[in-house]
Chain A
Amino acid sequence: MKNKPQAAPTAIKKSAGTKVFNGISYVLLAFGAIVCVLPFIIIVSGSFTDNVTILKQGYSLFPRDFTLEAYRTIFRSPKDIIQAYKMNVYYTVVGTSIGLTMIALTGYVISRQEFKYRNTVSFLIYFTSIFGGGMIPWYLMYANVLNLKGHTLAIWFPALMSPFLVILMRTFIVGAVPNAITESAKIDGAGHFTIFFRIVLPVLKAGLATVGLFLALGYWNDWYRSSMFSTNSSTWQLQFYLYDLLNATTAMKQMASNVSMKTADLPTESVKLAMAVVATGPVLLFYPFVQRFFVSGITVGAVKG
């Protein structure tokens, strides 16, 4: 990017129209940002609000009758949630590391000019995103053909790769490693594995980070593979544990109201919110540190290379 100091925007006197335009930009952006953050505030403040207050007066933007009761309730018997956390970390780490390796290798291969079938392979990978057998054959493949129902493999294997991430990775590799460099390495006698590990990987940090984060985010937030393949609650993903808890508390409340019993002694509403905070916590905690990879890194390219 060229930046001429003498041509900086401040050098030219801003017209009234520009000022108005800028003012509107600031206001609209602030509005957009607030709308995006608002729901988080509702959840967090709700989790700190006394359950009786929620039941009587409903949810609100700021915590009223501040209390830690909901969090105490959760951590009074933390065995289940710790198990769900452990499983989620396991799925995320295993899935992301294996998936990222596979995606990087594939991205490297389909970015090689000398690889004659690069466009064919790209298309065959992309093809899976526009045509498929549908959810049921996919489910039966894992559940009945491979017999993986209840196995943790069925949770992390299906999400190892996606056409979108492969193409994203290829774009990164093409951008980070000019063909001339790998060509000269080849002339010096380097094989493809050497080129990949010694030349491509070291300069691919941004690509690995971005694709890896997409993978990790997908694993962390997933719930539906548990809903399909888990037979035992000890292998549940965190989000599915949360999902089940939400439905269970609803059911509990239903039952309580049926027998006209007070639900007040169990802080159901605020517990739900506190659970949501606990489940999202790590993502939002990491977010400020990793968001720059997303913010600078996502470009889209065509399937053909």
Chain B
Amino acid sequence: MKKKWICGVSALFLILALPFFSRIVIVDLVGLFSNIGVTREMAADLLTGYNLFNILSFVQYSNYGRIGLFAMLLLLLMIACVYFHIAFIIRTLMGARKNKGELDILSAGKLAFIFEIITAAATIAFVIFSNIKFGIRGFMPTVWVYIELLLAVGAYVLIKVLEAKERKKYNEHGLLHEIKKNWPLFIMLIPTFVYFMINNYLPMLGVYFAFTSFNFRDGLFASPFVGLKNFEFLVKADLFRLTKNTILYNVVFIGIGNILQIFFAILVSRVASKWYKKTSQTLMFMPYFVSFVILKVIVYNVFEYQHGLINNFLTSGGAERIDFYNTPSYWPVLITLFYLWKNIGYGMVVYLATITGIDNEIYEAAKVDGANEVQQIWYITLPHIKPTFIILLLYALGSIMKGQFELFYQLIGNNGVLFNITDIFDTYVYRITMTQPLSIGLGTAAGLYQSLFGFLIIVLVNYLVKRKNPEYALF
């Protein structure tokens, strides 16, 4: 079995990935001193050899941000290597799946070795890159890197050969063949690819700012690397409050929102008059079309202290005015109300589409059996809208750490009195972006935490749903 041998190589790589094996050695410590201003005291902390896990500590000690992003990419590559090697070994031990033979196993192995090759090449490139940046030959790659490169290339070629055999057997084709066969489809995807690269995937590199004390003077990727300092500061200052606010608001929005949407959808479906059905639907969907700036006007007019509708009403009835804009405790309720006002119609329509799809004969049969309205709803309508509910819920959970930024920002704006109870991640980060360019590292850290946390939640929930019933899973 050749596969077992390749697996052995994988295991060897895992051992090599252990922190005892240096990948990069410092050969010219004195030169580094003079070039990047490392002091004598710092030198005591510096190591002579670095593996890819602790190379960032060098970046941090040396206060030389220019190589930070590169070093961080190396770290990520290394982690990816370890992950794919483990996946490859586990899949090999578990054996082949029936329908595709060993293709699954081999593709995991292929990924592992591709990443290994990239990592080795990137390590060498890193050494060259930083030597050029420092202007001296300060670093050298160790012999392990070259061994890694040679072994990985060998293993990769071997896997390719094995894979070609398997492919023939199962009539599965690789990417190149697919492109040749369906090239118009790939061309159609080019604009989309460009868009998501620019708008979403390339900015992901920017999460590196979360680990720097960012400033524009040094340039985007040259600010000093500070490790986890930004996160430490966040944990001490705002993190708990922001997490709590963001999640609580979203839980309330999702919970009450879905209940009311289902409630009104059922009401609409039960009303016999066509005209009434259409009109109420149209009117309830209308707020969805209003911009948040207009919403701000509305809220201001209703709740303003001097001339607001409510205070106007209160004073004409002889009661005291309420100072909404300086009393935080009202706002969670108000924000929820206006969220519901804006979004009930939309969700109602989605649920209504599902309800109209239910076969009418089921209701007729139930009526003949003597089921009353409530029983019909409970035993027929609700079970039928369960799949829609679960999918909407999963989509909502996917963005549970994202807030309704426009809603919060327009309603609260820069009213600092209300921040404690109404600040969510998005408003916090937006304020930093617009007003405090010195805290950009901090803002990125908050954004990264928000993104990671939300991502883990949806992956976990989707996994649980998938285990229970694969039909309902989102991905």
* A residues lining the B interface (CB < 8 Å): 1-4, 7, 9, 12, 15, 17-18, 21-22, 25-26, 28-30, 32-33, 35-37, 39-40, 42-43, 46, 54-55, 57-61, 101-102, 105-106, 108-109, 112, 114-117, 121-126, 128-141, 144-146, 157-158, 160-161, 164, 166, 191-193, 196, 217, 220-224, 227-228, 239-240, 242-243, 246, 269, 272-273, 276, 279-280, 283-284, 287-288, 291, 294-304
Q: A133-B451, A140-B203, A193-B184 given. 12 additional CB < 8 A pairs?
A: A39-B302, A131-B452, A136-B209, A138-B203, A139-B433, A160-B195, A221-B289, A228-B434, A246-B293, A279-B293, A295-B285, A296-B353
Which of chain A's residues have a CB closer than 8 A to the CB of B205?
133, 137
Partner of B294 from the list A29, A269, A276 (CB cut-off 8 Å) is A276
In the complex, what's the smallest C-beta–C-beta distance from B395 to chain A, in angstroms? 7
Interface hits, B413-448 → A, CB 8 Å: 426, 429-430, 432-434, 440, 443-444, 446-448
Q: Is B204 an interface residue (CB 8 A)?
A: yes
Question: Cα distance A220–B290 when bound, in Å?
Answer: 10
Report 22 cross-chain contacts, Cβ distance below 8 Å, ordered by A residue: A3-B360, A30-B280, A36-B284, A36-B286, A42-B309, A59-B301, A59-B302, A128-B201, A132-B200, A132-B451, A133-B203, A134-B444, A137-B204, A140-B203, A223-B406, A246-B297, A273-B297, A287-B282, A294-B285, A298-B349, A298-B350, A300-B388
Q: Is B297 in contact with A57, judged by CB distance below 8 angstroms? A: no
Which of chain A's residues have a CB closer than 8 A to the CB of B410?
243
Which of chain B's residues have a CB closer than 8 A to the CB of A269?
307
Question: Cα distance A101–B195 when bound, in Å?
Answer: 13
In the complex, what's the smallest C-beta–C-beta distance from B65 to chain A, in angstroms? 15
Q: Is B279 in contact with A136, judged by CB distance below 8 angstroms? A: no
Q: Is B136 an interface residue (CB 8 A)?
A: no
Partner of A221 from the list B209, B292, B372 (CB cut-off 8 Å) is B292
Which of chain A's residues have a CB closer than 8 A to the CB of B426?
135
Q: Is A1 in contact with B185, judged by CB distance below 8 angstroms? A: no
Q: Which residue of B lies closest to A286 (CB)?
A: B289
Partner of B443 from the list A36, A132, A135 (CB cut-off 8 Å) is A135
Q: Is B373 in contact with A18, judged by CB distance below 8 angstroms? A: yes
Which of chain A's residues have a CB closer than 8 A to the CB of B398?
129-130
Q: Is A32 in contact with B284, judged by CB distance below 8 angstroms? A: yes
Which of chain A's residues have a CB closer than 8 A to the CB of B429?
134-136
Chain B interface extent, by class: 35 or more
Q: Is B206 in contact with A106, judged by CB distance below 8 angstroms? A: no
Partner of B344 from the list A18, A32, A109, A223 (CB cut-off 8 Å) is A32
Question: Cα distance A55–B305 when bound, in Å?
Answer: 11
Q: Which residue of B lies closest to A98 (CB)?
A: B191
Q: Is B282 in contact with A29, judged by CB distance below 8 angstroms? A: no
Which of chain A's residues have a CB closer than 8 A to the CB of B220?
140, 144-145
Question: Cα distance A108–B188 when bound, in Å?
Answer: 9
Q: Is B192 in contact with A102, judged by CB distance below 8 angstroms? A: yes
Q: Is B335 an interface residue (CB 8 A)?
A: no
Q: Is A58 in contact with B294, judged by CB distance below 8 angstroms? A: no
Q: Is A130 in contact with B455, judged by CB distance below 8 angstroms? A: yes
Partner of A303 from the list B200, B405, B474 (CB cut-off 8 Å) is B474
Q: Which residue of A lies closest to B399 (CB)?
A: A129
Q: What 5 pairs between A and B have smallest CB-CB spacing?
A: A134-B447, A137-B206, A58-B312, A221-B291, A192-B184
Q: Is B196 an interface residue (CB 8 A)?
A: yes
In the complex, what's the smallest C-beta–C-beta distance from A97 to chain B, in angstroms? 13
